[in-house]
Amino acid sequence: MDIFGNSHPKKMPQHFFFAALAIHHETAVRGNVEKQNYSVCPRHWYIDADFKCERCGQEFTWTAKEQKAWFEDYFFWVDSQPRHCAKCRGEIRRLVELRKEYDATVAAARHHGTTEQKRQIIEIVSELQQAFGQLPEKMTETKRLFEHQTRSQAEPDGAGNSHRAGQ
């Protein structure tokens, strides 16, 4: 009796490859269900499958090797599948890290930040704006404030000397 495609990769439940453009059964590699995170239906096979990236629109192949890593090494839920190509996933991770850096440093930069810290926040917000377009109003207000403050700190006085705002 076949249970969830145990005997043959073509008998695997199709929900594992929802929205796949193509499934390459000839690439099937047996999965180790003992290492997987599932409640009812394990993945008995890992199979190369083609998808369309939701971010850039490029077609990409989610390989059996990647699936094995996702489900046996990283313990992702077996119903997971990528929505983005590897390049876009990397870019999204980088943007998430930028947002975390912003969140971790903005309060200190607002209260007693150096010019360099404020410039770093300006760069982070600029990059996030380029990627996402509109950002929360507080972020854009902070960027405008820091731009004004860093310009003021770098403006030369009448003698050509740079001075800090308020001096």
Burial of 37 (C-beta count, 10 Å sphere; 0-12/13-18/19+): middle
**Does residue 28 lie within any of the structural domains?**
yes
Do 79 and 145 lie in one domain? The reply is no
Residue 163, SS3? coil
For the chain, which residues score pLDDT lower than 70? 154-167
Select from 49, 66, 84 the last residue of a domain: 84
**Does residue 165 lie within any of the structural domains?**
no
**Does residue 92 lie within any of the structural domains?**
yes
The tally of domains found in the chain comes to 2
User: What's the pLDDT score for residue 164?
Assistant: 47
Q: CA-to-CA distance for 20 and 5, rounded, in angstroms?
A: 18
Do 51 and 111 lie in one domain? The reply is no
Q: Is 29 within 8 Å of 44 (Cβ atoms)?
A: no
User: What's the pLDDT score for residue 156?
Assistant: 61
Do 98 and 123 lie in one domain? The reply is yes
Domain that holds residue 105: 88-154
pTM score of the predicted model: 0.75
Do 92 and 78 lie in one domain? The reply is no
Do 20 and 36 lie in one domain? The reply is yes
What is the SS3 assignment for 105-127?
HHHHHHHHCCHHHHHHHHHHHHH
